[in-house]
Structures are given as C-alpha cells and as structure tokens.
Amino acid sequence: MDAHELLERYAAGERNFDTVDLSGTYLSGADLRGVDLKKAILCEADLSGAYLVGAELNGVVLREANLSGARLSGAHLNGADLSKANLVGADLSSTMLWRAVLKRANLAGANLNRASLNEANLAEANLATADLRDAKLTGANLTGANLSEATLVKATLCKAKLVLASLCGANLERADLAEANLSDSDLSWVNLDGANLRAANLSRVNLGEAELTGANLYRANLTAAKLIVAILRGANLERAELISANLSSADLSWANLDDANLSGANLHRAILEDTRLSSTILRGADLNEAKLNSEIHALNFLDFSWATMPDGAVHS
C-alpha cells in the first residue's frame, strides 16, 4: 500500500489499516485522526505535521520516522517502536506510551503533558525543553537522556533510571522520584522544591545551586554528590547517606539531618540554623565557617570526631 491508496481509502470512511507496510511513505500534514494502524510498519515515513489525534498505534514501528509537529494527543502507542524518530515539537499530550521504545528519539520541545510513559525506553532521548507535567514515567529508562530545561512538575518517576542524564535547569517541583536512580546525572540549577526523592540514588550527582526546599530525601544516597550553594531549607534528609558530599555554602536551615551520615562531607560556610542533627555522623567533616545557632557540642549523640569545627579547630 502506498500513501495515495491509504488516503483514498481513509477518505472513503475506512479506518482499519493495521499491519500495513508504509515504510518511507510521504504523509506530511495528512489528516488521519482516529486511524487504526496497530502494528503497522512506518519506518522512515514522513508524518511531519500529521493529524493523528486519538489514533490507534499500539505496536506500530516508526523507527527513524519524521513526526515533527505532528498532533498525536490521546493516541495509543503502547509498545510502539519510535527509535531515533523525530518528534520535535510534537503534541503527545495524554498519549499512552506504555513500554514504548523511544531510544535516541528527538522530543525537543514536545508536549507530553499527562502522557503515560511507564516502563518506556527513552535512553539517550532528547527531551530538552519538553513539557512533561503530570507525566507518568514509573520504571522508565532515561539513561543518558537530555532533559535540560524540561518541565516535569508533578511528574511520576518512581524507580525510573536516569543514570548520566542531563536535567540542568529542569523543573521537577513536587515530582515523585522515589527509589529513582539518578547517579552521575547533572541536576544543576534544577527545581526540586517539594519533590519526593525517598530512597533515591543520587550518588555523584551535580546538584549545584539546585532548589530542594521541603524535598523528601529520606534514606537517599547522596554519596559524593555536589550540592554547592544548594537550597535545602526544610528538606528531610533523615538517614540519608552524604558521605564525602560537597555542601559548601548550602542552605540547610530547618532541614532534618537526624541519623544522616555526613562523614568527610564539605560543609564549609553551610547554613545549619535550626537544623536537626540528632545522631548525625559528621566524622571528618569540614564545618569551617558554618553557621549554627546552637552549640554543636550540645547536640544529642552527634559524632564529629576529627571534624573541622566552625572556628577552624579540629575536634579530636
């Protein structure tokens, strides 16, 4: 079947074209709303600007297809293969993309508001400036993905894999990242205010100048993380691992660090006013010029052996 035959039959009222092979066809700007192309093959097809609202595209193969500017809101793409597809500026709002393969796809500036991407493969995908508000990405693979300046407000990323991902300047306010793996990712300038990072792996991440006011980091792994000038006011870091973390000039006012491990951490000039530090481990930590509004010696069960104190003296 070629593009002409498809459009002719669609115009005549036919909607079911599942399993057809339309590889390489030119369908730019075509109006195919509500079309059924389940398990169809459209490799390298040109669907730029196409109207595919509410289309049935489960299991469709769109490898290296051009869908830039296409309108796919409400479409079903569960299990679809969109590897290396061009989806720049596409409207994928409220789409179903469960277990879809979007590896190395270009979704820059795409609208994925309320999209369901649970267990989808977005490894090395470009999602820069994409709108992912309220999107569901539980268990999704975003290894090496570019999410710079993306909007992920209230997105669900529980148990998602974001290793080596770039989220510089992204907005993740109130996002759910419980048990997500963000190790070695770039989260500089990110907004994580009110986000849930309970038991998340944030080892070696760059959170420089990030906003984490009121964030939940209970039992999170922040080993060797960079949190220089980060804002952690009122954050919950109870039982968090912050071994060798760099928190220089970070604001931890009203934060909860009870039972947290900050062995060897850099807290130079950090603000620890009204911070909870019960049973906190600060062994070998650098607290030089840190701001506390209480005597550190009076804090309950605090371990600051060999730590550099706010006055520069080393505690023995």
At 130-182, the pLDDT tens digits run 999 999 999 999 999 999 999 999 999 999 999 999 999 999 999 999 999 99
Compute and round to an integer the Cα radius of gyration of the chain. 24
CA-wise closest residue to 67 among 81, 46, 41, 83: 46
Burial class (CB in 10 A: 0-12, 13-18, 19+), 289: middle
Query: Which is higher by pLDDT, 248 or 309?
Result: 248
Instruction: Compute the distance between CA of residue 36 and CA of residue 291 in angstroms, rounded to an integer.
Output: 63
Q: Average pLDDT in the 200-226 region? A: 99
- By C-alpha distance, which of 204, 195, 194 is closest to 227? 204
Cα–Cα distance for residue pair 272/175, rounded to 1 Å: 26
Residue 316 CA to residue 304 CA, distance in Å, equals: 8
pLDDT digit string, tens, across residues 258-312:
999 999 999 999 999 999 999 999 999 999 999 987 655 445 556 777 778 777 7
Give the DSSP H or E segment for 11.
Answer: helix 3-11
Cβ–Cβ under 8 Å, residues 143 and 162: yes
CB neighbours of residue 314 within 10 Å: 12
Nearest CA-CA partner of 310 in 275, 261, 258:
275
Q: Is the pLDDT of residue 28 over 60?
A: yes
Report the distance separating Cα 278 and Cα 238, nearest Å: 10
Element (H, E) at 10: helix 3-11
| Per-residue model confidence (pLDDT) at position 297 | 47
pTM score, whole prediction: 0.93
- Residue 150 to residues 111, 172, 178, 243, Cα–Cα distance (Å): 10, 8, 19, 30
